[in-house]
Amino acid sequence: MKIICIGRNYADHVKEMNSPENEDPVFFLKPDTALLLRNRPFYYPDYSNNIHYEAELVIRIDRNGKHIREAFANDYYSEIGFGLDMTARDLQQKCKQNGAPWEIAKGFDSSAPISRFIPLTDLKNVENIEFSLKKNGEVVQHGFSKDMIFSVDRIIAHVSKYITLKMGDIIFTGTPSGVGPVKIGDRLEGFIEDKKMLSTLIK
C-alpha cells in the first residue's frame, strides 16, 4: 500500500506557511513504514529539533482504479479516519531552500499515525466533516472538510491520472491552520465530529 498526502489544501494553512496557491492539488508520498497504528507512541527522532503535527482527515481507497473521473470518485472510498502528518519542519525548510524532495521531512518512520477507519455513513454531516486536534487537552486545530480547496473527489481524480490507486491505499487530505511543534510528553488526541479517533503520546 502507499500513503498519498495532499499539501496546501486549506487556505488558512496556505497563508500561515506563506505557500503559493496551486491550480491542481500538490501531493507527495510517504512509504508504508511511516504508518503508526493502534495509538502507539511516537518516538521523537534525534535528527530533528522541530517536529510538527498536522491534523488531517484520511480516506482509504477500497477499489483499484486509474484515470478515475471526479464524478465517479466517490465509488472508490467509503470510510474515513484521522491522521497526523508528522513533519520535521526544520528538515522541510532545508529541503525547500535547496529545491530538494521532502521525503526526509515527511516520510520518516512513524510519521503517519493513523486512527481506525469508520464508515462515512456513521457521520452526522458527511457534506462538511468537522475534525479537531487537542494537544494536552487544548484544541489546537479545528477544521471542516468544506474548507478544502480541492475536494476528496477532485484529489482522487487528479492523483489517479498519474498513479494507479489500489485497494488499501491511504490519502491524507491536507491540514487546516494551527500546525505546531510537539515535545516529549505531549499527548495528541484526534476527533472526527464528537468521536475520539486517535491518541498519541510523544515519547
What is the binding site for Mg ion (CB under 5 A)? 54, 85, 175
Return the C-alpha cell found at 108. 520518516
CB of 54 to Mg ion, least distance (A): 4
Rounded to 5 degrees, φ, ψ at 33 are -70, -5
CB of 185 to Mg ion, least distance (A): 23
Distance (Å, rounded) from C-alpha 180 to C-alpha 40? 20
Q: What residue is closest to Mg ion based on CB?
A: 85
CB of 87 to Mg ion, least distance (A): 7
Distance (Å, rounded) from C-alpha 39 to C-alpha 60? 18
* CB-nearer residue toward Mg ion: 54 or 153: 54
CB of 177 to Mg ion, least distance (A): 12
* CB-nearer residue toward Mg ion: 28 or 64: 28
* CB-nearer residue toward Mg ion: 85 or 153: 85
Q: Are 70 and 39 in contact (CB under 8 A)?
A: no
Distance (Å, rounded) from C-alpha 32 to C-alpha 169? 10
Residue reference for cell 494507479: 164
* CB-nearer residue toward Mg ion: 111 or 175: 175
